[in-house]
Amino acid sequence: MYELVIRVFQKNGLHVRSAASFIAMLQDALMDEIIQKNIQIEYKGRRVGVTNLLSLVSLKVRQG
């Protein structure tokens, strides 16, 4: 298992537009859909799949 730490520098945190850009970047970088479905983001103890925009935005990731 690999772990990658990402910092959010925007004052508003990870909102819809930036989350959609993040998902698009991952989809371009990782062509294998099986790998994409296994990538998850964890924030404050909640974990969601990275390919689901609504779930990603619902984490309400803040700056930092």
In the chain, the amino acid numbered 32 is: D
pLDDT at 38 over 90: no
For residue 47, the tally of other CB atoms under 10 A from its CB is: 10
As a whole number, the mean pLDDT across the chain is 87
Residue with the bigger pLDDT between 32 and 11: it is 11
Strand-pair partners of 47: 42
Distance of CA 27 to the CA centre of its chain: 11
Contact 48, 41 (CB under 8 A): yes
pLDDT at 37 over 90: no
Over residues 17-26, mean pLDDT:
90
Between CA 1 and CA 18 the distance in angstroms is 26
